[in-house]
Structure 1
Amino acid sequence: LCKIADEKGFTLALVVLWSNYVAGTWASQLDKERNVLPEDCRQAYYQKVIATFDAFHPIYFIGGDTDFPTQPTIDTYLEAFVFFEKHSPNTLKTIHIKGRFEEIPATIVEHLDLFLYQSGHNSAFLNMPYYLAERFYQRQPQLPIINSEPCYEQMGYARHVYGRFGQKDVRKAAWQSLLAGGSAGITYGAHGIWSWQTSTATFAEEIGEAFDRPMIWPEALSFPGADDYGFIKQLFELLNIQELVPCQERLIDADEQIRMAAIAGRKDALLYLPSNTTVRLQGDLSTATVTLIDLNTNRFLKPKLTVTDGITVFHPHNCHEDVLFVIQIKE
């Protein structure tokens, strides 16, 4: 399967130690540590992973969905990092942390090639895509940042809260992550795919994060939010965007959900507006080329703007959902 994926152009991201296999983590505690990998087995396991998968040049996620509550927990991950650095020196290595978490021990940060964060699936913390992106963007050393687990499409809200994340929710999480500092990539998830849900399969609705039952996987394959994420990639390629630099300071009295970032190395910028309102920016954009993209329909439109005393005002538009302003500054 990995060979097929590699041939299709995928970069494999392989988790070495999901959190339930490591002593002390939230997941192993939930599992009463029945599946913790014994210390005397780990080295042989690491070697087997490298021998099997290194040919595909994967990104190794040394840990998955993890926290770091004890020193033995940290030491286990450090042991794996050191082993993989020695025996697989030419692959990228990182760690996938649990939802809404930002505390990574300094001893582990030293081994990371990129930061992953998880904004998660809890409807009470809808600011996490941009909040965590900002937090990791401010860290030193500065590394590429990816929201490795935003809300999944049609996933039930965590903790038995009634409701599900829809297409706009996952699209909003993507744009807020990318423009707030996490511009190295974004993850799309369709609830029902990761569990390969079938009509007769069970689903653990009562344990862990307690998500509602997913749709079956053939239906999840056609969720429309996947096209929104594909559109993001095509737009970045069309505009030749290699990196984004957050520039919230250009916004005047804007809600924090509204995000703005400059395109690195250029004066151009992207502005994401989740809901229709007036937006005021520092600077005169009267000579700029500004395109309004209706992200619900992917229509390209011309926005209404005025400039007074060096302040540009984008007036309410006619789109029904979220939009993206592409601001291209003439040199």
Structure 2
Amino acid sequence: MTTPPSTVPLWARFEHRLRSDVWYENPPQDASLAVTFTAPSGTRHVVDAFWDGGAMWAVRFCPGETGEWTYATDCSDASNGSLHAVKGTFRCTPAAGTSRFEAHGPVRASDDRRHLAHADGTPFFWLADTAWNGPLLSTDAEWDHYLHIRAAQRFTAVQWVATHWRASPGGDRNGATAFDGVERIHISPSFFRRLDGKVDAVNRAGLVAAPVMLWENSEDSAFPDSNPGHTLPEDQAILLGRYMLARWGANAVVWILMGDWRYQPHNAERWRRIGRGIFAGRPHGPVATHVRSRVFLADEFRDEEWLDVVGYQTGHSDEESFLHWIHSGDIARDWEKGRARVIMNLEPNYEDHISRHSANRFDAYAVRRACYWSLLNAPTAGVTYGAHGVWGWDDGTRPPVDHPHTGIPRHWRDALHLPGGAQMAHLADLFTSIEWWRLRPAPGLLAAQPGEASARRHISASMTRAGDLAVVYSPGGAAVHLRAAA
């Protein structure tokens, strides 16, 4: 057992490491360790500890109240006195530091559940970049360079994949995978220990880490068995997900439960059970979905308490029906139905990626258009950008792994400076200069809608309920005609 800290600043990470006197052949399968943290107010928070290799276990926790905290462990093996009924205290001091998360805390769903906010209520504008393979394949120096550039471009989050998957079936840059096996997996602590540093670096740069826990889509994949969301049985998917939650739950994180889920009505219940199994009864950051293109999960997850963000994908096509779906499809029609949730496009078309229909590469204009449409088709919360070359952490010599028809990308270092990515700073400047979280779609503002003749010319409009602020986006700068009453 190591000596835990006696004081921890508000919203910082408390970590306590314990050494087990009992040897387990497969610790995450053979034993579980829960820790109950009791706040000064009396509120209790139960978090899982995680096995960190050998005889070591660790618990991480982010306190949300100042004052004296107590904690007590509960091991499934009550005879293991080194892990069971271990008690302690620590004092949570006022917030220290000036960084985004030190000053305002991690992110959560806002009180109205329409956008994200920091723990102290400060609205958080989601402008994510897509670096699916970044933490897996980068060196520490490369990752720091990447984060420096994206932070300067006003990005606030990074989406990435937390295990081996179809575009990195061999695992990380060292050839290590997150786990071995299928029916009874062996989790690799060293694999996740390496990613600890990448997650911490994301937060130090002032960005939210958004890991995909269980990539699912294996359609047309040469490596279908590399995708844990497709391969693992439910109990093992839950075990793996809870391990990640225990490991990074004290960081500023938004969890993407499934990656590229190929939605079918018959398999929705499987993902509902997995979501409950990972998150129910445990404190956690916001949880999001990530599905195949043109799917809006308004009904299937309506009553799931653990879900905060309905993430959707508009995909990589410039065909008219795909463009129409972004601004006038299910999202625009149905966002008010059911329980309020944060709604965001987590995968518009990637810049420099080949369109699946025209075979043209998406340019900066196409990227901006998709992003602005996505910000105004539902209550404004944020949007994700992607650059071909960055998402696969590519070297520019061949198409991304298992994605042969997307085109040979630029080297990731060059793709970081594609014009659309740099221009996201202007998008961020615009929205963060106004009270963007009050905006709601307001198509009635427009006296004329060019989008009725062509989806490419659609003008989007949003306005506050009070009518004191409006944002109108016109692709290409076409004239906007508003109703006289507006």
TM-score by length of 1: 0.75
Question: What is the root-mean-square deviation of aligned Cα atoms in Å?
Answer: 2.5
Alpha-carbon distance in structure 2 between the residues aligned to 1:61 and 1:205:
21
SS in 1 for 2:256: strand
After TM superposition, give the deviation of residue 65 of structure 1 in Å.
Answer: 1.0
Select the structure of larger CA radius of gyration: 2
State the match for 2:300 in structure 1. 106
Letter in 2 for 1:123: D
State the match for 1:17 in structure 2. 214
Alpha-carbon distance in structure 2 between the residues aligned to 1:2 and 1:204:
24
Alpha-carbon distance in structure 2 between the residues aligned to 1:109 and 1:131:
25
Q: Do residues 155 (structure 1) and 324 (structure 2) align?
A: no
1:270-289 to structure 2, matched below 5 A, reads 270-283=471-484
1:237-276 to structure 2, matched below 5 A, reads 237-256=432-451, 257-276=458-477
Letter in 2 for 1:274: P
Deviation per CA, 1:257-276: give whole Å up to 9, x if none: 11111135442211111134
State the match for 1:214 in structure 2. 409
Name which of 272, 277, 283 aligns with 1:83. 277
Alpha-carbon distance in structure 2 between the residues aligned to 1:204 and 1:15:
18
Question: Are 1:54 and 1:88, in contact at CA under 8 Å, matched by a contact in 2?
Answer: no
**Structure 2 gaps, min length 5:** 1-197, 452-457
Alpha-carbon distance in structure 2 between the residues aligned to 1:231 and 1:238:
11
Q: Do residues 189 (structure 1) and 386 (structure 2) align?
A: yes
Name which of 251, 256, 260 aligns with 1:65. 260
State the match for 1:228 in structure 2. 423
Question: Are 1:50 and 1:87, in contact at CA under 8 Å, matched by a contact in 2?
Answer: no
Change (3 A) 1:196 1:142: same
**Structure 1 gaps, min length 5:** 21-26, 286-331
Change (3 A) 1:276 1:41: closer
1:37-186 to structure 2, matched below 5 A, reads 37-69=232-264, 71=266, 73-86=267-280, 88-103=282-297, 106-107=300-301, 110-111=304-305, 112-124=307-319, 125-132=322-329, 133-158=331-356, 161-181=358-378, 183-186=380-383
Question: Are 1:147 and 1:182, in contact at CA under 8 Å, matched by a contact in 2?
Answer: no
Alpha-carbon distance in structure 1 between the residues aligned to 2:410 and 2:364:
15
Question: Are 1:150 and 1:174, in contact at CA under 8 Å, matched by a contact in 2?
Answer: yes
Alpha-carbon distance in structure 1 between the residues aligned to 2:441 and 2:392:
35
Deviation per CA, 1:82-120: give whole Å up to 9, x if none: 122235323211211111222565246634212111111
State the match for 2:225 in structure 1. 34
After TM superposition, give the deviation of residue 280 of structure 1 in Å.
Answer: 2.2
Change (3 A) 1:243 1:65: farther
Identity of aligned residues (%): 25
Change (3 A) 1:29 1:218: closer
TM-score by length of 2: 0.52
Aligned length: 275
State the match for 1:322 in structure 2. none
Deviation per CA, 1:17-52: give whole Å up to 9, x if none: 1114xxxxxx25745853412345334312321221
Alpha-carbon distance in structure 2 between the residues aligned to 1:276 and 1:49:
45
Alpha-carbon distance in structure 2 between the residues aligned to 1:224 and 1:280:
30
Change (3 A) 1:19 1:105: farther
Question: Are 2:268 and 2:300, in contact at CA under 8 Å, matched by a contact in 1?
Answer: no
Alpha-carbon distance in structure 1 between the residues aligned to 2:265 and 2:225:
18
State the match for 1:312 in structure 2. none
Higher RCO, 1 vs 2 (CA within 8 Å, ≥6 residues apart):
2
Alpha-carbon distance in structure 2 between the residues aligned to 1:250 and 1:92:
33
Change (3 A) 1:156 1:96: same
After TM superposition, give the deviation of residue 168 of structure 1 in Å.
Answer: 0.8
Alpha-carbon distance in structure 1 between the residues aligned to 2:399 and 2:291:
26
Question: Are 2:462 and 2:470, in contact at CA under 8 Å, matched by a contact in 1?
Answer: yes
Alpha-carbon distance in structure 1 between the residues aligned to 2:380 and 2:275:
25
SS in 2 for 1:222: coil
Change (3 A) 1:74 1:241: closer
After TM superposition, give the deviation of residue 206 of structure 1 in Å.
Answer: 6.5
Question: Are 2:311 and 2:343, in contact at CA under 8 Å, matched by a contact in 1?
Answer: yes
Question: Are 1:184 and 1:243, in contact at CA under 8 Å, matched by a contact in 2?
Answer: no
Alpha-carbon distance in structure 1 between the residues aligned to 2:332 and 2:290:
17
After TM superposition, give the deviation of residue 172 of structure 1 in Å.
Answer: 0.8
After TM superposition, give the deviation of residue 78 of structure 1 in Å.
Answer: 1.8
Change (3 A) 1:145 1:271: same
Question: Are 2:343 and 2:378, in contact at CA under 8 Å, matched by a contact in 1?
Answer: yes
